[in-house]
Amino acid sequence: MDTKLAEQELSFIKKVMEDSKQVTVDNGKYYILWGVLVSIALFVNYGFICIEVNKGYYYGIMWMIMMVGGAIASSVMKSRDLKKAKVHTFAGKVISSIWIAAGIAMFIVAFVGPAFKVYNYAYISSLISLILGIAYYVSGEVQQLKWLKLLSIGWWAGGIALFAVPGIHTYLIFGLMIIFFQTVPGFIMYNKWKEEIAGSANTA
C-alpha cells in the first residue's frame, strides 16, 4: 500500500511539473490591469489627503468603483482567455487559484480589518505587500520564472519598509511599488507572450 501511494504521489508531482512546462507564458494583462487601476487609485487617494479633502466616503466610493470595475474587467478577460486556450493545465488552474485567493485576502485586509478598527488604514499597504510577495513567489515557482519569483523579495522588503513610513506617504510609495513590481513586469510578460504567439504562428 505504501509503495502504491508513493507511486501515485510521484505520478501527481510529475504531472504538475509537466503541466507547468506546458503553461503558455502568462499574457501579463491582469498584472497590467490591476497595476494601472490600483496605482491610479493610490495616487488620487494620496492627492486628496495632501490637499486636505477629508471626506472619507470619497475614498471608499473610489476604491469600491475600482475594485468592482477591475473584477468585471478581469472576469471578461478570463472568459475570453478560456475560450481561446487550446490546453487547460493543472498548473494553470493552480496559478489562477493563487491569485484568486490572494485577491480575496487583500480585499479582507483593505476593507474588513479597518472597518473593525483592528489596525489603521496606513498599514494596509504593508500587509498587502506581504500577501503579494507570497503570490509572486508561488506563481513564479509554478511557472518556473525565476525573475518573477524574485519580485517577491521586492514586495516583502517594501512591506517591511512601509511599516516605518509616516502615514499618508505609504499611498505614494506603494503606488510606485505597484508600477515597478507589477505594471512593468506585466508589460514584460505581455511582450514575451506576443513573441510566443508570433513564434507559434510562424511554425504552424
| 37 assigned to some structural domain | yes
| 10 assigned to some structural domain | no
Band of pLDDT at residue 83, cut at 50, 70 and 90: confident
| 9 assigned to some structural domain | no
| 192 assigned to some structural domain | no
Convert 134-144 to b/e letters by CB count within 10 Å (16 or more is b): bbbbbbbebbe
Average pLDDT over residues 110-124: 88
Cell of 26: 502568462
| 98 assigned to some structural domain | yes
For the chain, what is the domain count? Answer: 1
* H helical segments located in 85-164: 90-107, 113-115, 124-143, 146-162
On the question of pLDDT at 161 being above 90, the answer is yes
Instruction: Please choose, from the candidates 190, 182, 187, the residue with its C-alpha nearest in 3D space to the C-alpha of residue 37.
Output: 182
pLDDT 10s digits, 127-145:
999 999 999 999 998 888 8
Average pLDDT over residues 152-176: 93
Q: Which pLDDT score is estimated for 99? A: 93
On the question of pLDDT at 14 being above 60, the answer is no
| 16 assigned to some structural domain | no
On the question of pLDDT at 157 being above 80, the answer is yes
| 75 assigned to some structural domain | yes
Average pLDDT over residues 51-76: 83
Distance in angstroms (rounded) separating the CA atoms of residues 75 and 71: 6
| 35 assigned to some structural domain | yes
Q: Which pLDDT score is estimated for 129? A: 97
User: Which residues lie below 8 Å from residue 114, measured CB to CB, with a gap of 6+?
Assistant: 120, 121, 124
CA distances 22 to 91, 143, 204, Å, are 9, 9, 17
Average pLDDT over residues 176-197: 92
Residue ranges making up the domain that contains 49: 27-183
pTM (predicted TM-score) = 0.84
User: Which residues lie below 8 Å from residue 25, measured CB to CB, with a gap of 6+?
Assistant: 143, 189, 192, 193, 196
Q: Which pLDDT score is estimated for 197? A: 73
